[in-house]
Amino acid sequence: MLVQQHTIKTPVTMTGVGLHTGVQTTMTFKPAPENYGIRFRRVDVGGTPEIPADVDHVIGVERGTTIGIGDVRIHTVEHVLAAIVGLQVDNVIIELDNIEPPIADGSSKPFVDMILESGVQEQEAPKDYLIIDQTIRYQNEEKGVEIVALPTDDFRVTVLIDYHNPALGSQHTGLFNLEKEFITEFAPSRTFCFLHEVEMLRDKGLIRGGNLDNAIVIVDRDLSEGELKKLAHKLGIDHALILGTTGVLNEKRLHFKNEPARHKLVDLIGDLALIGAPLKAQILAARPGHASNIEFARKVRKLYQQKKLVKKYMHVKKEGVIFDVNAIARILPHRYPFLLVDKIIDFQLDERVVGVKNVTFNEPFFQGHFPDQPVMPGVLIVEAMAQVGGILMLNGLENPGNKLVYFMSINNVKFRRPVVPGDQLVLDVQMVSRRSKFIQIRGQAFVDGNLVAEGDFSAAIVDREDNQAKAGNHTDSYQLSTTSKNPSSK
């Protein structure tokens, strides 16, 4: 697999009809600088807004993947994205003057040809691979879908499809070498649907640009001559439809015996591009579809964001430690004697964080609480949970150094037993809910596996320049520091 990032050399353009919307679109691929990523640009909209190709901008998955920002959207991006990933291009601008890329022949090959015509240019920055080092699994038992990512040192994909439809049966395929196989063995595979779906899809406002030149229709029902003519008229097809004997409408010749399975693999690669990073992983997918692909991509992207954050703040990797005290000092503004977290041992982005506080006899608060029988003040145990919670909340944000967390309320606090010198506090904080800028978390503190304190926290995340009044009545605030120098907090 390639080591350096790549873009294309020169702009290249295509014009055609969109599969689902039927609109005429001119699409241009343009070179982009290092670390720019893949972005779609609507040149027909004021301000030429850009939509990053990531799962955070996915707004629809019905028979295709739609991305959007505000009222601006782009339908059916998966074939274009598959071509870009298949040729290992990292940075590119995709300009469109309408809401859907051309469908061309229903495969990724026309977009592959565009990139090859332009040429691929190596850049100086290294690729930012997401190396899968743990099993990631998505399941939908109701639909029989399962997608798994396993550790490996390259990129492989295996797909099984089974629609419980005898006209197609069960098919499988696998890609084991992106550079050698994608262009010739997978990019030419075309989109498909079943004959019984065609009228329903058209009635739902889809496949308005679909025809027998850009899609395979698998015959899974009998239609009379009159019904075929009616269907052709509804689809705007001016030639006769023939059921034939090959199992494909109008006896259209397949490029591969298992072309539907290969196209599903192409769709999966295109949807996985929305993770936002090239993968080193083995992907196993049973009965994938756009909805399941995107849900799986969300899980993998969360791991990618988490790894980026750990890499940003943890300069020296330590066994069993996610963030050491030096990394914590880069994240939180607190300092002696008020930094009450020594290390983070578990961190799941936007879900859970576990911190450790080693309670020693040298803690300054023991001098007065109490000299003859030292006990850690309960309010400081709550403060330690809040500091761990600050790490959980702020690290999931874009530009976290520009944000403040205001704790608005602390409820249901209970202290189960005293914490004394020699104890090790394990602080487990979990996300309860997140709505826009308002968050609820639950914290628990343990010593030797026994619960010693717990509480519920509500907080608001605001921009640093916002007035404190926007957060209401708060108990404390935390700012994520971008450096370890001159930390500040309101």
How far is residue 84's CA from residue 22's CA, in Å, rounded to a whole number?
23
**What is the dihedral angle through the alpha carbons of 306, 309, 314, 320, rounded to the nearest 10 degrees?**
-10
Residue 57 backbone phi and psi in degrees, to 5:
-110, 10
SS3 labels along 141-199: CCCCEEEEEECCCCEEEEEEEECCCCCCCEEEEEECCHHHHHHHHHCCCCCEEEHHHHH
> CA 351 → CA 214, 310, 325, 461, distances in Å?
43, 15, 21, 16
225 exposure class (CB count in 10 Å sphere: 0-12, 13-18, 19+): exposed
Residue of 172, 196, 255, 369 marked catalytic? 369
For this structure, is 290 an active site residue?
A: yes
Evaluate whether 459 touches 408 at the Cβ level (below 8 Å): yes
How far is residue 192's CA from residue 189's CA, in Å, rounded to a whole number?
9
How far is residue 354's CA from residue 438's CA, in Å, rounded to a whole number?
21
* Both structure tokens of 197: 């779906």
How far is residue 245's CA from residue 412's CA, in Å, rounded to a whole number?
70
Residue 307, CA atoms < 13 Å, CB-side half-sphere: 16
How far is residue 255's CA from residue 239's CA, in Å, rounded to a whole number?
23
In three-state secondary structure terms, 117 is helix
In three-state secondary structure terms, 374 is coil
For this structure, is 315 an active site residue?
A: no
> CA 458 → CA 406, 424, 463, distances in Å?
9, 26, 17
Q: How many CB atoms lie within 10 A of CB 376?
A: 24
Residue of 75, 263, 290, 474 marked catalytic? 290
> CA 348 → CA 313, 354, 383, 396, 429, distances in Å?
15, 9, 21, 10, 11
Residues labelled as active-site residues:
290, 369
